[in-house]
């Protein structure tokens, strides 16, 4: 029970196929008290359907594109939970039209939205959560992908957003380290989820991964969840500012 007595915030659960749900299961099984957020009422319905599989989680709405909503979320957590020990940021979005064609065709508005939701939201959440995590050996974990450092057809502006997210991890790790808060990212292999369905060619990406990755199999949601558990626990107490790959070794290949 690595997380017994710990309180964690999971942001990004959409349904049972989401990576965030795999993380939720892993940290639940390790004894954590959970807080889940949802962007709007439609997604909130999906989250509430999963509530029975958790141990009385706290559920709050939060659209991370709104500073006011993040403020309200942290106020509610301070009141109802008293503090936070870890956060899992599993949020990313880009307009669908920006995930097809060429990156050169990305509009200014699509770029703004992708960077705001997929990268800046980590900064906004970390800033407001830091007072609730100070001196608690806190851990913040976010999700990224290899498209941040290599060209992946169809990933386009999301690759740029993930690159910004990874840079933010390093800067936040430096800023928050003195308060005992670690910040890391998990770079998972391609997984078919509601979010990844917006990326054209996701099926081909998974197929290529299985054919070429050293482990010759697809990345599983549970593997990502268990790595998030490790990063949220004291077992990783000396690790911060890092990108941990959970992709069957695909990232080590030259082509």
Spatial distance between the Cα atoms of 246 and 151, rounded to a whole number of angstroms: 19
Please give the C-alpha separations between residue 25 and each of 51, 86, 123, 182, in angstroms, as whole numbers: 12, 15, 25, 22
Q: Residue with structure tokens 């020990």?
A: 85
Residue 155 annotated in active site? yes
129: how many CB neighbours lie within 10 A of its CB? 25
DSSP for residue 239: -
Residue 60 annotated in active site? no
DSSP 31-90: T-EEEEEESSHHHHHHHHHTGGGSSS-EEEE--TT-HHHHHHHHHHHHHHTS--SEEEE-
59: how many CB neighbours lie within 10 A of its CB? 16
Spatial distance between the Cα atoms of 51 and 25, rounded to a whole number of angstroms: 12
SS3 187: strand
Phi and psi of 35, rounded to 5°?
Answer: -125, 125
Task: Choose the catalytic residue: 38, 103, 120, 155.
Answer: 155
Spatial distance between the Cα atoms of 201 and 47, rounded to a whole number of angstroms: 28
Task: Choose the catalytic residue: 38, 60, 145, 245.
Answer: 145
- Which residues are annotated as catalytic? 145, 155
């Amino acid at each position: 029970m690595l997380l017994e007595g710990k309180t964690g915030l999971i942001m990004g659960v959409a349904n049972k196929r989401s990576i965030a749900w795999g993380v939720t299961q892993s940290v639940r099984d390790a004894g954590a008290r959970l807080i889940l957020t949802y962007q709007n009422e439609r997604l909130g319905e999906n989250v509430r359907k999963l509530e029975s599989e958790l141990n009385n989680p706290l559920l709050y709405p939060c659209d991370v594109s709104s500073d006011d909503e993040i403020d309200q979320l942290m106020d509610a957590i301070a009141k109802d939970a008293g503090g936070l020990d870890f956060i899992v940021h599993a949020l990313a979005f880009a307009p669908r039209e920006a995930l097809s064609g060429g990156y050169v065709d990305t509009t200014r508005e699509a770029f703004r939205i992708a960077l705001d939701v997929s990268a800046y939201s980590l900064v906004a959440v970390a800033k407001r959560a830091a007072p609730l995590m100070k001196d608690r050996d806190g851990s913040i974990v976010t999700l990224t992908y290899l498209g941040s450092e290599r060209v992946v057809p169809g990933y386009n502006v999301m690759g740029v957003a993930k690159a910004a997210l990874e840079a933010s991890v390093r800067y936040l790790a430096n800023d928050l380290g003195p308060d005992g808060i670690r910040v890391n990212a998990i770079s998972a292999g391609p997984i078919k989820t509601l979010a990844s369905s917006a990326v054209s060619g996701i099926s081909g990406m998974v197929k290529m991964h299985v054919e070429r990755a050293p482990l010759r199999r697809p990345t599983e949601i549970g593997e990502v969840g268990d790595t998030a558990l490790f990063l949220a626990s004291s077992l990783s107490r000396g690790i911060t500012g890092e990108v941990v790959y959970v992709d069957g070794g695909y990232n080590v290949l030259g082509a």
